[in-house]
Structure 1
């Protein structure tokens, strides 16, 4: 009985010391240096291992973390990978702008070409026709805001 209690205490203390060692021991620079360039090419189990190590290290005061660990923790949390990867890579903005301007130019030229060969507008769109229509509506007591204003018969 005493031996089993002693062995339990030894295994628990060994586990605790290994956890403390993992928390207080800095992560090797080889595994986290330039993590931004090689994160997506790492196998998922290596990514999970690095994430686990970084999360254990982040439980300590931030002053005890190395600069490489802080940078790696920031990249894993907020970096441009996975769903936060930019849709358009760098240098594509100029190509997109050029394409949009070319499209606008082509559409404007098509519009002006169609407008140049279009027949003249109908006579009901002339200014004289509109003024005559307004005079006719005034003579009939038309209300332009709601309905025609008709004189009530007694």
Structure 2
């Protein structure tokens, strides 16, 4: 039983060493950034598995193309990391935001210009007179004017 387990483990290690000791075909990983999303799913999985096996080796044994391909697959701008807005769209978005702000400001100023005069109760004199009246009536028992303390 133990002999079979050891034999299986050594066979598995030998196949892993054999598979990972040969570099990945340069033709399959050159310019991977440009053609990754158009590759069939099967080819993508094959490249990923080959690179995963190669990455089990010391990093210095990987070729430069393998390092670039591994980095792109792990951190590149494809799939969920693809930019939401393509290049050149940020200017259009910014101009749209500023146009929207300008239109809203124009509408606000237009409505404000057409509004009637402020009511007389909004004048400073009216507000001061109402404060004096409230002080004389002890109208705000919680925070100001004069609190009446009952015994």
The answer, yes or no, to whether TM exceeds 0.5 is yes
Within 2, Cα distance between the matches of 1:31 and 1:126? 79
Task: Specify every segment of 5 or more residues in structure 2 that has no aligned partner in the other structure, as ranges.
Answer: 1-7
Within 2, Cα distance between the matches of 1:137 and 1:13? 94
Within 2, Cα distance between the matches of 1:58 and 1:118? 72
Within 2, Cα distance between the matches of 1:64 and 1:111? 66
Question: CA distance change for structure 1 residues 30 and 137 in 2, over 3 Å: closer, same or farther?
Answer: same
Task: Specify every segment of 5 or more residues in structure 1 that has no aligned partner in the other structure, as ranges.
Answer: 1-10
Secondary structure of 1:120 counterpart? coil
Within 2, Cα distance between the matches of 1:121 and 1:53? 77
Say if 2:94 is the partner of 1:93.
no
Using the size of structure 2 for normalisation, the TM-score is 0.85
Within 2, Cα distance between the matches of 1:12 and 1:107? 71
User: Could you tell me which residue of structure 2 aligns to residue 40 of structure 1?
Assistant: 37
Within 2, Cα distance between the matches of 1:32 and 1:102? 45
Contact 2:140-2:147 at 8 Å conserved across structures? no
The two structures, once aligned, show a CA RMSD in angstroms of 2.6
Using the size of structure 1 for normalisation, the TM-score is 0.83
Deviations 1:101-148 (A, max 9, x none): 000001101111111111111111111110001111111234475488
Offset at residue 150 of structure 1 (A): 5.7
**1:10-29 map, 5 Å:** 17-29=14-26
Offset at residue 20 of structure 1 (A): 2.1
Deviations 1:16-37 (A, max 9, x none): 5543221110011110011011
